Amino acid sequence: MTEAEVESIMNRSREGDRTLKVAEVRAALDAHPALAQANGSPARHLVDAILDNYADSLVVRESVRRKVTEVCKELAGPNPLESLLAERAAICG
């Protein structure tokens, strides 16, 4: 799958194109696994959803986002489980 095809699928998805097929999205993610890594974090989506409703101020939203990232880095350990738990704790903290 070419970069242009992947970009087209991503754009169609962002625009809410109802004709986009799951098979197309899966093919794009298979061809470019970094897309799934960049877009597949439930924790990141949760933070985004919370912050969208948390404050009207862009400064406040971005400040809180930075604090969550900072806490996550402070708590993260050497193994994946510790990193996952740190991510969850940073969201709740």
Structure tokens at 64: 């809180």
Q: What pLDDT score does 59 carry?
A: 93
Q: Sketch the domain layout of the chain as residue ranges.
A: 3-39, 42-92
Structure tokens at 13: 């998805």
Q: What pLDDT score does 93 carry?
A: 63
Task: For 15, list phi and psi in degrees, rounded to 5.
Answer: -80, -5
For residue 83, give the nearest of 92, 93, 91, 73 by alpha carbon: 73
Average pLDDT over residues 41-66: 86
What pTM was computed for the model?
A: 0.56
**Contact criterion met (CB below 8 Å) for 35 and 10:** yes
